[in-house]
Amino acid sequence: MAIEVVTFGCRLNTVESEVMKQKAEAAGLTDAVLVNTCAVTGEAVRQARQAIRRARRENPAARIVVTGCAAQTDPASFAAMEEVDLVVGNDQKMTEAAYRALPDFGVAAAEKTRVNDIMSVRETALHLVDGFEGRARAFVQVQNGCDHRCTFCIIPYGRGNSRSVPMGEVVAQVRRLVENGYAEVVLTGVDLTSYGQDLPGTPRLGKLTRTILAHVPELKRLRISSIDSIEADEDLMRAIAEEERLMPHLHLSLQAGDDMILKRMKRRHLRADAIRFCEEARRLRPDMVFGADLIAGFPTEDEAMFAQSLAIVDDCGLTHLHVFPYSPRPGTPAARMPQLERAVIKERAARLRVKGDDAFTAHLASETGRRRLVLIEKNGLGRTEQFTLAEIAAGRPGEIVDAVVTGHTERALVAKAA
């Protein structure tokens, strides 16, 4: 058996899983399952435990190594699992040495934990990768960690404070991926809009975006994974207006639609700021679409406050919604606030999802007749510039097809080659 990687959570974990596999192989590990966990919700942690038990059942002799944000924030609970051979922190998981901390290399089985203080990490080194197996688009980690402390969020405790990858290294990575045939690159991080604050000259995300597009003219499509709209810089707004290769799709970290709840979340924006941002971005780029993260059932949220979250879907013109039922994370301030009943949280999440589905269906319907460039992901399926799924009987994975939208199903556009 080779090395299998099980990845949970965000695109950052996807990038890191690619590097982890390389490092474990280089360390000489041969028979192992690496579980790269997420801690954003209790459900994500539950699924990771389930995956660990399954990995052990299916691979009785393999080494099971657990890492990622759930392992970083609660190493003892994973070390206590008899299925687990080693628990590795988010910083160490990117090193060969971490994968040699196993009995295979003479280390005592009792020493199961290698997790350092993530808040002490000051740099984020870019690990060059050649590509992402079985994926039509490539991801580049440009930033890690977060300096904010939103009251519901456990991420800073899993990933540490914000740190950025120098622009030159990012450009080199993008160029390498384009040389390896990737038509689309996605910039990822934890808090992308804080990019560069720790670098000499403090280049912002907008400058990074324009620098990549200027230095890698062969790159066909650049996508930004998720932003905090209140921190979007002027250069980024100019890039949105002027750079056709910057994809007209932004995923916003909105979290709620009510100002009092946003304050209790310790977010930096108010609902009017989010609406203004979407209006301005759409004025600059009329084909722009927005996705957003929204939490349902945050502590103290009453029906009127929740109604503001429902309303923000229309007010911002959101079409690609990620709805999170509030999940209390151990050690976060919100977990100590008066909690809503589970049933109320679930019911509100369901209503918000329906709202999101309706908005998405309206978006699909509005696309009929339009000309779109579809990046083929696998036979018969791809995504437009707006990141909307499209069924199309043309093109090979990784190719961009010039297409016309002829209709839609419940979850995707239907298109044909133009």
In the structure encoding, which two tokens stand for residue 318, read together? 């959101």
- Residue 193 or 388: the one with the smaller Cβ distance to ligand SF4 is 193
CB of 62 to ligand SF4, least distance (A): 33
CB of 190 to ligand SF4, least distance (A): 5
- Residue 190 or 376: the one with the smaller Cβ distance to ligand SF4 is 190
In the structure encoding, which two tokens stand for residue 344, read together? 């109320």
Cα 97 versus chain centre, distance: 27
- Residue 149 or 283: the one with the smaller Cβ distance to ligand SF4 is 149
264 Cβ neighbours under 8 A, 6+ residues apart: 151, 298, 299, 300, 334, 337
- At 254 the three-state DSSP class reads strand
Rounded CA-CA distance 391/374 in Å is 9
- Residue 19 or 252: the one with the smaller Cβ distance to ligand SF4 is 252
CB of 246 to ligand SF4, least distance (A): 22
CB of 226 to ligand SF4, least distance (A): 9
Chain residues in the site for ligand SF4 (CB under 6 A): 146, 148-150, 153, 155-156, 190-191, 253
CB of 7 to ligand SF4, least distance (A): 18
Strand segments (E) across 115-168: 137-141, 143-144, 163-164
- Residue 79 or 186: the one with the smaller Cβ distance to ligand SF4 is 186
- Residue 268 or 351: the one with the smaller Cβ distance to ligand SF4 is 268
In the structure encoding, which two tokens stand for residue 153, read together? 């969020």
- At 232 the three-state DSSP class reads coil
CB contact at 8 A, 60 and 28: no
CB of 43 to ligand SF4, least distance (A): 17
For CA atoms 226, 187, 373, 18, the dihedral sign is: negative
Q: Is 281 exposed, middle or buried (0-12, 13-18, 19+ CB in 10 A)?
A: buried
